[in-house]
Amino acid sequence: MYSEPDIPTDIQHALTGFLDIQQVRLAEIGPELEEQVQAARDATSGGKRLRPSFCYWGFRAAGGDPAQPILKAAASLEMLHVSALVHDDVMDSSDVRRGAPAAHRRFEALQRARTEASGKGGDPVGFGIGAAILLGDLCLIWADEMMHTSGFDAAALARASKFFDAVRVEVTSGQYLDLVAQASGEADMDRALRVLRYKAATYTVERPLHIGAALGGAGQHLIDSLSAYGLPLGEAFQLRDDLLGVFGDPALTGKPAGDDLREGKRTVLTAYAVEHASEVQLAEFDRLFGRRDLDDDEIQLLREILQDSRAVQACEDLITERTEDALDSLDRAPLEDEAARKALADLAIAATARLV
């Protein structure tokens, strides 16, 4: 009798096996590359595994045979996710990721220890940034390799490739939009919504569903139906993420409280606050938002402005509306496997009603 897979465990197994192969390959280039492989191992351990899960259930929604190597293909999306996280942490100068030093801080510490031990060596900060960029590049390359060596035939890979290519372009473009938004110093709701869509919604839910469905042989009608579910759900997911970036418990999120406020993240949450805050609140917000040295009291003041301007409630309302839209679309979707319908409904709740 067939039993459903333990997706997080199976994805971890696929990632570990792939990195075992890469470790042997890179050892032939030089022992120095062990640091990159170990950093990739640590970065690919843990996490919510949402993207592989949506890929798997997109495949099942299309009637894909679970005996095929779908979880190996889905694991490539976790490798892509790590690439994006490593680069994002460099751009944001983040210190922590999932409760551990961000990759560039990890490499910085390695170089500092070598410099202190030998009394000579290059700049640890510059080394950390450069090494992390290269780690992100490696993971991006490896994501492609994982997909194309997953075991699917050429026809299935060709169907999935247009979506796999699209998600990489979209997340990179969304990342650039985010960078422009932060650099502008201005609150722009239209731009914040575009960042929401391309940096998160398509990348987290819609395209993973498309990739899995394409591997399973889905037609355009199912692809469109999965978009109707995936896009609003992806937006709700990111809105929840933005709230957690300000109000989340560091013990659960693995990041310091208020990091998004220190980084000056121009999200839908902050854009709404700027549009609806009083003049006094706006003056305080502009004075504090994006300052790296914010203390706990200043973080709390910014949180109060976000709450008093009803920005928090507006985001909660949007999360509810978009999740309901996603579930309504899922009810109407012509799925080939009813187990996929229930799993996707459960994933919708897990993605939006979360504490991490």
Candidates 175, 173, 170, 144; CA nearest to 157 is 144
In this prediction, residue 333 carries a pLDDT of 97
In this prediction, residue 77 carries a pLDDT of 98
Pairing mode of beta strands 96-97, 100-101: antiparallel
Token pair for residue 10? 């199976």
- Which of 73-77, 91-95, 202-206 comes out lowest in average pLDDT? 91-95
pLDDT tens by residue, 228-240: 999 999 999 999 9
259: confidence class by pLDDT, cuts 50, 70, 90: confident
Convert 158-225 into a string of H (helix), E (strand) and C (coil).
HHHHHHHHHHHHHHHHHHHHHHHHHHHCCCCHHHHHHHHHHHHHHHHHHHHHHHHHHHCCCCHHHHHH
pTM for the predicted model, two decimal places = 0.94
Token pair for residue 114? 């070598």
pLDDT tens by residue, 138-149: 999 999 999 999
CA distances in angstroms from 285 to 134, 239, 281, listed in the order given: 36, 20, 6
pLDDT tens by residue, 56-67: 999 999 999 999
Tell me if residue 96 falls in helix, strand or coil: strand
Helix (H) or strand (E) holding 97: strand 96-97
Average of pLDDT values for 298-308? 95
pLDDT tens by residue, 147-184: 999 999 999 999 999 999 999 999 999 999 999 988 88
In this prediction, residue 6 carries a pLDDT of 94
| 8 A C-beta contact, residue 276 and residue 235 | no
Res 15 pLDDT > 70? yes
121: confidence class by pLDDT, cuts 50, 70, 90: confident
Average of pLDDT values for 259-281? 92
Average of pLDDT values for 321-347? 97
Return the sign of the alpha-carbon dihedral for residues 228, 226, 45, 128: negative
Round to whole Å and give the CA distance between 164 and 80.
10
258: confidence class by pLDDT, cuts 50, 70, 90: confident
In this prediction, residue 26 carries a pLDDT of 97
| 8 A C-beta contact, residue 18 and residue 69 | no
341: confidence class by pLDDT, cuts 50, 70, 90: very high
Average of pLDDT values for 270-298? 93
Angle value at C-alpha 244, between 240 and 249, nearest 5 degrees: 145
Which residue's structure tokens are 């502008």? 184
How high is the mean pLDDT of the chain? Answer: 94
Enumerate the β-bridge partners of residue 101.
Answer: 96
Average of pLDDT values for 185-197? 88
In this prediction, residue 280 carries a pLDDT of 94
- Which of 111-120, 191-200, 250-259 comes out lowest in average pLDDT? 250-259
Radius of gyration of the chain (CA): 21
Architecture in CATH for domain 186-356 = Orthogonal Bundle (1.10)
Round to whole Å and give the CA distance between 244 and 252.
10
CB-based burial of residue 296 (10 Å sphere; 0-12 exposed, 13-18 middle, 19+ buried)? Answer: exposed
pLDDT tens by residue, 78-114: 999 999 999 999 998 888 888 899 999 999 999 999 9
287: CB partners within 8 A, 6+ apart: none
CB-based burial of residue 67 (10 Å sphere; 0-12 exposed, 13-18 middle, 19+ buried)? Answer: exposed
Round to whole Å and give the CA distance between 66 and 216.
10
In this prediction, residue 279 carries a pLDDT of 93
